[in-house]
């Protein structure tokens, strides 16, 4: 087999598989959506296979395999689809798609991606998004997954942390390609002054304790004792009652819960805050929100989780504090609110750091991998028939 020159002009027919419901909010779906749009903008053809609650709402390039069902998995509720009907649809999609390659997201959890990985043969890429320590229990099933996982020609981990999880639990290495952001959408646009000049931003599902909102609020109580003026802006879905009840009366007047916000509103908020704080306590494999905040020019303070340390370039593009140390966090916030020069410096450093997460860079790296594994011109096809035809032609062809 020879590959003389890797053809960078070739138009690829790409099949992507999403494990989670397409019309449900989630980082993985958002990532697949952006990647698919990028590939299509480069002239490639993309078809995404995903579970969906409402099939009518899907764009033409997304195919549904039916409604996702909620199953408890890894300490959370995963909304995925599998079973005989899904399996049949996966096989039909592979057969009719005539794909040059498949890109399976999160193929190590029981989901559509795993089904596709079992069924297909040929060039396949897998992206691993998760990297929670909780995953240990799940990766204990490694040996069962191995025959499927080893079919992947290339594995992508979204961060060094995700890669470590993979090497430790599935005994396999991966190329690190981060998640992408649309840099321009964050860096260019108007700001709002409705929360004053000293706004502290927080975005995410604040109800999950690992997102660390209670740590931020505790730090804010300390700031109040020092008579520092600020406002806290929290955006994200969830019920704030529990947090509001615990706050002092003074903090309550300075606390704004905006609920779920649109993308453009999120971008505007990030451009407006004086500092963005990510007080997460664990379970983060990447931290896309940090990249987004940096692109928007918000000075970032984040806990020193390995994934965050990477994104902030070991503290060069943002401020790090020891995770769960609220007084240290309070001190860092105070320092930044007092020092507008330092803020301007961080804002610039962050903006330039965030360039490496722009889709023009990230998408190209992914396409490079696509080109590598499709260089032989082999197509994706269903596995089982081939298996028997190969059996007849003799075991273990001589390479």
Residue of 154, 90, 151 lying closest to 125 (CA atoms): 154
Nearer to other proteins, 136 or 390 (CB): 390
Cα 152 versus chain centre, distance: 20
Could you give the CA distance from residue 302 to residue 128 in angstroms, rounded to a whole number?
23
Q: Which two tokens stand for residue 283?
A: 């379970």
155: contact with other proteins by CB under 8 A: yes
Could you give the CA distance from residue 279 to residue 353 in angstroms, rounded to a whole number?
20
CB of 161 to other proteins, least distance (A): 18
One of 96, 150, 168, 250 touching other proteins (CB under 8 A): 150
Nearer to other proteins, 138 or 154 (CB): 154
Nearer to other proteins, 203 or 367 (CB): 367
Residue partners of 168: CB distance under 8 A and separation at least 6: 139
- Of the ranges 30-38, 295-303, 332-340, 384-392, which one interacts with other proteins (CB under 8 A)? 384-392
CB of 363 to other proteins, least distance (A): 14
Nearer to other proteins, 5 or 249 (CB): 5
Could you give the CA distance from residue 384 to residue 92 in angstroms, rounded to a whole number?
13
210: contact with other proteins by CB under 8 A: no
341: contact with other proteins by CB under 8 A: no
Could you give the CA distance from residue 37 to residue 54 in angstroms, rounded to a whole number?
21
One of 89, 129, 151, 266 touching other proteins (CB under 8 A): 151
One of 30, 175, 185, 224 touching other proteins (CB under 8 A): 175
- Burial of residue 385 (CB within 10 Å: 0-12, 13-18, 19+) is exposed
Q: Residue 203 forms beta bridges with which residues? A: 235
CB of 373 to other proteins, least distance (A): 7
40: contact with other proteins by CB under 8 A: no
Q: Which two tokens stand for residue 169?
A: 């639990």
Position of tokens 């959408």? 185
CB of 96 to other proteins, least distance (A): 23
143: contact with other proteins by CB under 8 A: no
Position of tokens 């399996």? 87
Could you give the CA distance from residue 97 to residue 49 in angstroms, rounded to a whole number?
11
121: contact with other proteins by CB under 8 A: yes
144: contact with other proteins by CB under 8 A: no
Residue ranges in contact with other proteins by CB under 8 A: 1-6, 121, 147, 150-151, 153-155, 172-173, 175, 365, 368-369, 372-373, 375-376, 378, 387, 390-391, 394-399
């Amino acid at each position: 087999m020879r590959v003389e020159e890797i053809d960078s002009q070739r138009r690829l027919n790409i099949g992507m598989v999403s494990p989670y419901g397409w019309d449900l909010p989630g980082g993985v779906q958002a990532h697949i959506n952006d990647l698919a749009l990028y590939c299509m903008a480069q002239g490639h053809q993309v078809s995404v296979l995903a579970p969906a609650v409402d099939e009518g709402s899907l764009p033409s390039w997304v195919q549904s395999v039916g409604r996702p069902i909620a199953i408890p998995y890894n300490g959370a509720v995963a909304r995925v689809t599998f079973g005989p009907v899904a399996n049949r649809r996966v096989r039909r999609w592979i057969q009719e798609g005539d794909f040059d390659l498949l890109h399976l997201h999160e193929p190590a959890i029981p989901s559509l991606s795993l089904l596709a990985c079992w069924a297909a043969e040929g060039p396949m890429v897998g992206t691993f998004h998760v990297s929670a320590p909780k995953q240990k229990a799940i990766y204990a099933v490694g040996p069962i997954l191995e025959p499927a996982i080893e079919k992947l020609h290339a594995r992508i981990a979204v961060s060094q942390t995700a890669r470590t999880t993979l090497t430790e639990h599935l005994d396999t290495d991966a190329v690190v390609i981060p998640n992408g952001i649309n840099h321009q959408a964050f860096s260019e646009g108007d700001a709002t002054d409705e929360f004053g000049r000293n706004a502290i931003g927080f975005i995410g599902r604040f109800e999950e304790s690992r997102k660390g909102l209670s740590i931020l609020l505790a730090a804010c109580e300390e700031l109040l004792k020092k008579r520092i003026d600020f406002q806290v802006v929290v955006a994200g879905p969830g019920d704030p009652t529990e947090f509001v009840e615990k706050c002092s009366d003074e903090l309550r007047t300075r606390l704004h819960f905006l609920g779920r916000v649109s993308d453009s509103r999120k971008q505007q908020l990030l451009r407006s805050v004086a500092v963005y704080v990510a007080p997460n306590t664990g379970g983060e494999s990447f931290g896309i929100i940090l990249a987004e905040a940096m692109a928007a020019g918000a000075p970032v303070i984040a806990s020193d989780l390995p994934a965050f340390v990477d994104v902030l370039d070991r503290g060069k593009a943002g401020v790090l504090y020891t995770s769960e140390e609220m007084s240290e966090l309070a001190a860092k916030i105070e320092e930044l609110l007092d020092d507008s020069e330092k803020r301007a410096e961080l804002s610039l450093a962050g903006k330039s750091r965030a360039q490496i997460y722009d889709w023009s860079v990230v998408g190209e790296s992914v396409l490079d991998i696509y080109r590598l594994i499709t260089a032989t011109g082999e197509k994706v096809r269903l596995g089982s028939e081939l298996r028997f035809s190969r059996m007849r032609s003799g075991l273990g062809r001589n390479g």
